Structure 1
Amino acid sequence: MSTAPPRIHRLPVRVYYEDTDMAGIVYYANYLRYIERGRSEWVRDVGLDQNRMKEQDGIVYAVRRVEADYLAPARLDDELEVLTWVAERRPARMIMGQEVRRGDKLLFAALVTVICMTLAGKPVRMPVYHEG
């Protein structure tokens, strides 16, 4: 049995001066900011409202683990693209695959484990969403 390939969300990002270090290279922690934006836009794209989830349902998403590979530098004024997809989904967590690319060049890759929890920190089932 074959499964459909994951739906990939794409977010364009430009590198600004504030993103770089003294050498003009994107500071390593900023890749985490870029992929956070990618996940936030993915959530919107699949029709989930994080504010409503928090206010009405008392649940939020939280990052539990990040496994990251820094492969090549991005530089001032580069046009990047953040790719985000669901690599694995379980009842109370999912693993998101994410990449930062400059054209066809892979600069950064990450697997991010995201959990769903109550405001008190208790794990709960992920809300239903529809990709596509």
Structure 2
Amino acid sequence: MTHRFPVHVYYEDTDLAGIVYYANYLKFIERARTEWVRDLGIDQTELKANEGIVFAVRRVEADYLMAAKFDDDLVVTTTLDTISGARIVLSQAVTRDKDMVFEAKVTLVALSETGSPARLPAILRRNLH
């Protein structure tokens, strides 16, 4: 299952040269992950309130492949690589037309309110299998 999320590059996303500031790619892929989870039928606010579970990024491996610029239209694709009891590994890519601009491998973990590892919610596991 691949999720697609469009991103338009605004002036605020760029540096003086009009190139997307490197840290903003992390924001782009975070927004895409949020919408991916929402599209799986999970309300993260309710998940926290009802079950005390939140998601946290444990690891990001990122490759910046080419510059995106002001006014570009990008697409973030999110693909599930692996899932275990408390961990999800995703591949995320940012493209402009057919060009790969940025790619990342992101490891997410489920945490309890106290910050200790928690099992992934059943609805998430069910919707991903």
- Normalising by structure 2, we get a TM-score of 0.95
Q: Match of 1:85, SS?
A: strand
Name the residue aligned to 2:62.
68
Letter in 1 for 2:103: A
1:53 aligned onto 2:44? no
Counterpart for residue 32 of structure 1 = 26
TM superposition shift of 1:127: 1.1
Match of 2:96 in 1: 102
**Percentage of matched positions with identical amino acids:** 52
Aligned to 2:112: 118
Cα distance between partner residues in 2 of 1:126 and 1:62 = 12
Shift of 1:83: 0.3
In the alignment, residue 95 of structure 1 is paired with which amino acid?
Answer: V
**AA matched with 2:32:** G
How many residues align? The count is 126
**Deviations, residues 66-104 of structure 1 (Å, cap 9, x unaligned):** 000000000000000000111111110010110000011
CA displacement at 1:60 relative to structure 2: 0.3
Runs of 4+ in structure 1 over 4 Å off: none
* Paired position in structure 1 for 2:121: 127
Offset at 1:131? Answer: 4.4
Q: For 1:74 and 1:27, locate their aligned partners in 2 and report how far apart those are by CA, in whole Å.
A: 9
- Please list the CA deviations of residues 94-132 of structure 1 after superposition, one character each: whole Å capped at 9, or x if unmatched: 101100000110000000000001010110111132149
CA-based RMSD of the aligned residues comes to: 1.1
Query: Which of 4, 8, 14 is matched with 2:2 structurally?
Result: 8
Distance 1:103 1:40 in 2: 23
Residue type of the alignment partner of 2:26: L
CA distance in 1, matches of 2:120, 2:50: 15
2:80 is matched with which residue? 86
Aligned equivalents of 1:18, 1:86: Cα separation in 2: 30
